[in-house]
Amino acid sequence: MNKAPLFFLLLVSTPLTFAQTATPTEVEAVYPAAHELYLDIHQHPELSSHETRTATMLADKLRGLGYEVTEHVGGTGIVAILKNGSGPTVMLRTELDALPVEEKTGLPYASKVRATDDAGHEVPVSHACGHDLHMAAMYGTAVIMAQSKNSWHGTLMLIGQPAEETVAGARAMLADGLFTRFPKPDYAIAVHVTNELPAGIIGIVPGVLTTAADSLRVTIYGKGGHGAAPNTTIDPIVIAARTIVTLQTIVSREVKPGEMAVVTVGYIRAGTKNNIIPNEAEMGLTVRTYNPQIRKQVLTAIERIVKAEAAAGAVPRGPLIEHYESTDTVYNDPALAERLRPVLETALGKQNVEKTGPISFSEDFSYFVDAGVPSLFMRLGGADPAKLAEANRTNVPLPSNHSSYFAPDVEPSLRGAIEAEVSVLQNLLNGKQSSSMQR
Ligand SMILES: [Zn+2]
Ligand SMILES: [Zn+2]
């Protein structure tokens, strides 16, 4: 279903109380190019840290608009700066990477790409998280901002961040001087598409938006041998199985009811053959929390249980616990959220801006916030409203991000993202902001 005419109507029927906002005509004018870019990126997805074509293409396009573009920042990252007199520096971030997921949406422009991952396996690749939409929106926003320099002043900083899905890219860009070689922004913004909200709607979450995520790899060392002579072995599979079951008691028995905590064992790897007891077993865990104290409590409990279960199994050597990835919660500055909410309501219509609760996903955008930049990370509705209503009625959720079937309703989502980004940027980069706030 095409909801563009309705969206257009909502925009024009809304009284424009702020001067600085993208007009429907501006969005209309840029939409075909943004959509074309979307289709291109969607059909050429690249895995985390390998976004070379994507980065080059986006860099060339932004350079063509007059932005000063630096490539290879923290790997394949790009930084595009547009200076427009004195004033604040505001950063808009998009991710560049896709996922090792086979697209099964059946769309005419579905990805057929396959690539070799870092472990040497051939994998299907697709933009199952919607980062292609974020890039297309950034491009549309970049065009409007370059064409409307008389309505804002300061420094606009657009960044294309690699490797969000491996939570490595934000850290790599910062380590490569993102906030020292380039101006440190006064504010940062980003959007992420979700099937939990109707297409084109902006969801605002003041305060904690996403969970902290911790990735752990646990190796339990046993003593291998013949499957028919278990008495001569120390079976790491049995110890791993017991460990997994005990780990389930952390959330159910140790964490205070009502506090958010997730402990998931996403894989277990051990053994080669049914009649051989292997030497070791490996498990991969993901831990999600909102509260730093709970995070510490859960991580400490995991370590205690893993060690204790191994000791109970009389292992020849203590288990190895590797904490190989982590990211903090994304914290939306409440004052900034409060300031930008009426701006978004004016631009998109009050009914298209929703205050929503935090989500159980994670994001390495947290590194920019932790570097001391007040930020607003907006949720962008991507679901066909009719399908979402049906999903809510039947309690069968729509395919989430990372699903093979994830397919945002492109037109309203992309228009909504551009409209939201431009209105927020123009407000933050407008000297009249204080008078607007005093209304
Ligand atoms: Zn993702
Ligand atoms: Zn994502």
pLDDT in tens, 34-84: 999 999 999 999 999 999 999 999 999 999 999 999 999 999 999 999 999
Give me ligand 2 centre to Cα 130, in Å: 6
The residue type at 229: A
pLDDT at 4 over 70: no
Give me ligand 2 centre to Cα 364, in Å: 10
Supply 438's token pair: 């005093």
Residue 116 is predicted with a pLDDT of 96
- Percent of the chain exceeding pLDDT 70 equals 93
Give me ligand 2 centre to Cα 216, in Å: 21
Token pair 């860099």 in the structure block, residue:
59
pLDDT in tens, 329-387: 999 999 999 999 999 999 999 999 999 989 888 899 999 999 999 999 999 999 999 99
pLDDT at 156 over 80: yes
Give me ligand 1 centre to Cα 166, in Å: 9
Q: Answer yes or no: are the C-beta atoms of 148 and 26 closer than 8 Å.
A: yes
Ligand with minimal distance to 131 CA = 2
Better-scored residue on pLDDT, 1 or 187: 187
Give me ligand 1 centre to Cα 92, in Å: 18
Query: CB neighbours (10 Å) of residue 247?
Result: 22
126-136: buried (b, 16+ CB within 10 Å) or exposed (e) per residue? bbbbbbbbbbb
- Percent of the chain exceeding pLDDT 90 equals 89
Better-scored residue on pLDDT, 427 or 23: 427
Better-scored residue on pLDDT, 159 or 360: 159
Give me ligand 1 centre to Cα 97, in Å: 9
Better-scored residue on pLDDT, 129 or 435: 129
Give me ligand 2 centre to Cα 140, in Å: 19
Ligand with minimal distance to 401 CA = 1
